[in-house]
Every structure is written in C-alpha cells, then in structure tokens.
C-alpha cells in the first residue's frame, strides 16, 4: 500500500491527503439544515488594451481593441452587478465575491456596495486579462505579493479582508 499512497501524493503534489467521501465524517449544519448554499459571484475588471503575453490572448476574436467583447465584459460592472443586487437584497443573501482587486480602484461604487452588504472577498487576481501561465516561479510569487500589496492599499480604509487562493 505504500506505493499506492506515494502515487496518490504525486497526483496532488502531496498537498492534500486523499479521503474518500464514504470515509468522511458527516457534516452537520447549524439548526439541523440539510443544505449549505454559497453564492460567489465573479466581480471582475477587464482591461480594454491588455498586454498580450504571446500565448494566451485575452481578446482572441480580433486585433485590439475588441470593443464588442470588452463591452460584453464591462456590462457586468455597469449594469449586471446592480441588477444582481436586487434579488440578493430581497432574499438577504450575503455573498463571497471572487474579486479582481482592480475593481476596488476602478469601480469604488461597487466596492462600497459590497462592503455595505458585509460581503466576504477572495482574490481573483488583479485584472481578469492578465494570466499566470507564462510566468516563472519568481514572477508568479511576485504576482501574489503584488496582489496582497494592491489589496492592502486599496481596501485599507474600507475594512475589508481578502482570502488568497492560487487555484
């Protein structure tokens, strides 16, 4: 069995122990509830003229600027976010935003609306048009430090804390 465990560790980089669902403890939710419901909208910022890294093109449909695809993404911050708030407020649903940090700088009204509703936040990078696939380990590490620095500066006066993930 040692070989099997070594194989499994290699599959997941040794970060998480394997535990089949049938062997896991039963989760008990507060008040005897049977289902946990988590709403986590992506709140993102796309750059109009992003840097092309030579591998993954944020606007692959045509040469920059791709006004149509940009407008499709920008619609979310101008209209979609605000429409989404209506049912969330009506049913008192508190969210965890998967947040591009640049939203805090470019759309302070959105930041204030999320803070006013006591949302939680997890980092989804700074811009949705910058990718890590071509980064060296050092560049990726610098990216995460920039994420933390950017969010610390942008949100210090808003009393927000951000959870960081490198998925």
pTM of the model: 0.73
- Domain 39-163, architecture per CATH: Alpha-Beta Barrel (3.20)
Show me where the domains of the chain are located: 39-163
Q: How does pLDDT run across 94-123, given as a tens digit for each residue? A: 999 999 988 988 999 999 999 999 999 888
pLDDT above 70 for 165 = no
Closest CA to 18 of 1, 33, 34: 1
- Compare 9 and 39 and report the one with higher pLDDT: 39
Per-residue model confidence (pLDDT) at position 154: 55
Q: Which two tokens stand for residue 17?
A: 């122990």
DSSP string, 48-88: SSPPP-SS--SSTTSSSP-HHHHHHHHHIIIIIHHHHHHHH
Q: How does pLDDT run across 69-99, given as a tens digit for each residue? A: 899 889 999 999 999 999 999 999 999 999 9
């Amino acid at each position: 069995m040692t070989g099997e465990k070594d194989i499994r560790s290699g599959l997941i980089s040794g970060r998480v122990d394997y535990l089949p669902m049938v062997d896991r403890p039963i989760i008990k939710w507060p008040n005897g509830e049977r289902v946990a419901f988590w709403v986590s909208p992506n709140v993102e910022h796309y750059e109009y003229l992003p840097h092309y890294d030579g591998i993954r093109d944020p606007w692959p449909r045509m040469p920059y600027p791709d006004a149509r695809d940009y407008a499709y993404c920008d619609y979310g911050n101008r209209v979609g976010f605000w429409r989404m708030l209506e049912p969330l407020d009506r049913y008192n649903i508190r969210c965890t935003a998967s947040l591009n940090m640049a939203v805090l700088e470019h759309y302070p009204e959105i930041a204030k609306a999320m803070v006013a509703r006591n949302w939680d936040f997890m980092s989804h990078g700074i811009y949705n048009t910058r990718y890590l696939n071509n980064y060296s380990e050092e560049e990726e590490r610098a990216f995460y430090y920039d994420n933390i620095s950017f969010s610390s500066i942008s949100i210090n006066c808003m009393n927000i804390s951000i959870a960081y993930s490198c998925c």
